[in-house]
Structure 1
Amino acid sequence: MSKRVKITVLKRLLMDDIIHQYAGKEIEPCARCKEGDVFITDGRKVPDGFCVWAWADIFKDILMVRQNAECGSADKKCQVVSCSDGFRPVIFLVEPFEE
């Protein structure tokens, strides 16, 4: 079992067509994180500065990586996941972190 997990922000998306149709206002990309931001966690606590909404969305993937379960990446160790914000989702890479 990996004691800690590294979460890297890969990409912030903006779903312009959906925003235009359903939001009724301008929306900016997620301001909670930027591409390249890195968060380290033991899987039990939300890292400082990490979005709690995203944490709830990807928590099961954090646990899978922490338990060394087979994941969907080429090396079977990492998981690429996203938060569930339909207007401005954020894509994360979750991987084991060894010091």
Structure 2
Amino acid sequence: MVGFNWSKFNLIFNEMNFMDHILLIYYGGIFLSLKCKITVLKKNLDEELAQEYCQNEVTTCPVFREGQEFITGFEKPEGFCDWAWNDIYKFVAVLLAGGNFSKDIFEGWMKDDKTMITCCTDAIRPVIFKIEKLMVEN
């Protein structure tokens, strides 16, 4: 292939984890990776449920802060709550695999193909996330 930089490809390829290898794209002389940006939109607290069912005083989720962002492939980002990752991973995987939440069976749900709004399953103090598909230069 004329103009293809194999040495740069090998360097990038060797630094990526196994699952991200399938997402490496060569376009216009640069290498791009398909990633997702996860943004913490909102932290909620249902005080009524917390008072009725929790043993101790409960505050909003201590792991995340509103506006916090993570860029990731198929791997859980460093510092990300294990429970929340388990809850939202399926949406990350769908977007990275080329799926969407605005067409087909999801017609009329999200406004665009590259975004999903979801949350963790902590019913007392759920965290709302925006997941966006991105192309990132390596």
Larger radius of gyration: 2
Output one character per residue of 1:40-65: Cα deviation in whole Å (capped at 9) or x when no partner: 1111x110111111000011011111
Amino acid at match of 2:78: D
What's 2:106 paired with? none
User: Does residue 36 in structure 1 map to residue 67 in structure 2?
Assistant: yes
State how 1:1-99 maps to structure 2 within 5 Å: 3-43=34-74, 45-71=75-101, 72-99=109-136
Structure 1 residue 24: Cα displacement: 3.2
Unaligned runs of 5+ in 1: none
Unaligned runs of 5+ in 2: 1-22, 24-32, 102-108
TM-score (norm 2): 0.67
Relative to its length, the structure with more helix (as a share) is 2
Amino acid at match of 2:133: P
Q: How many angstroms apart in 1 are the aligned matches of 2:51 and 2:65?
A: 23
Equivalent residue of 1:57, what SS?
Answer: helix
Higher relative contact order (Cα pairs below 8 Å, separated by 6+ residues): 1
Amino acid at match of 1:88: R
TM-score (norm 1): 0.91
Runs of 4+ in structure 1 off by over 2 angstroms are none
What percent of counterpart residues are identical?
37
CA contact (8 A) 1:68 1:77 kept: no
Instruction: State the Cα RMSD in Å.
Output: 1.4
